[in-house]
Amino acid sequence: MMDGEVSVVRLELPVDTRYIRVARLVASGMGATAGLDVDAVDDLRIAVDELCSALFELAGGGPVALTFQLNEQAVDVEGRAPAAPAARIDKERFALSEQILGVACDRYSLDVDDGVARFSLHKQI
């Protein structure tokens, strides 16, 4: 990448877990473009898979909007979808995902607020 260059890829998916593989493919492509080694690309793909799975569980309808942003220091991914009525994060269900995400990315968040489920993740280059 050239100094100061930012690349953005936006993806919109129906709330159907079969489409999470598309998000994983985009994550892998962005990681490879960023120059991440094979293990770091796999970590990014795993982190996107975990957070998309959680987001799809919380979503009350579509579409699920994903934004992948690449700059010279990091790959950042954000996801959002309208939340299902009374959607909440099941801490027990998400416990294993938190352990995986703690290793697979540098920073992440997942929340439901004002009828919107959202996540973000940050992977240093």
Q: Which residues contact 98 (CB under 8 A, 6 or more apart)?
A: none
Asked if 110 contacts 50 with a C-beta cutoff of 8 angstroms, the reply is: no
Tell me the average pLDDT of the chain.
Answer: 95
In terms of residues, how long is the chain?
Answer: 125
- The helix (H) or strand (E) run that includes residue 112 is strand 107-113
Residues 71, 77: Cα–Cα separation, whole Å? 12
pLDDT of 60-75, one tens digit each? 988 999 999 999 999 9
Task: Give the per-residue pLDDT at 62.
Answer: 83
The fold for domain 7-124 equals Heat Shock Protein 90 (3.30.565)
> DSSP E strands: which ranges in 16-93?
64-70, 74-82
Q: Where are the domains of the chain?
A: 7-124
Residues 29, 24: Cα–Cα separation, whole Å? 9
DSSP, collapsed to helix, strand or coil, labels residue 35 as coil
Q: Which residues contact 111 (CB under 8 A, 6 or more apart)?
A: 89, 117, 118, 119
- What is the model's pTM? 0.93
pLDDT of 76-107, one tens digit each? 999 999 999 999 999 998 999 999 999 999 99
Mean pLDDT computed over 42-50 = 98
Q: Is the pLDDT of residue 114 over 70?
A: yes
Instruction: Tell me how far the alpha carbon of residue 41 is from its chain's centroid.
Output: 13
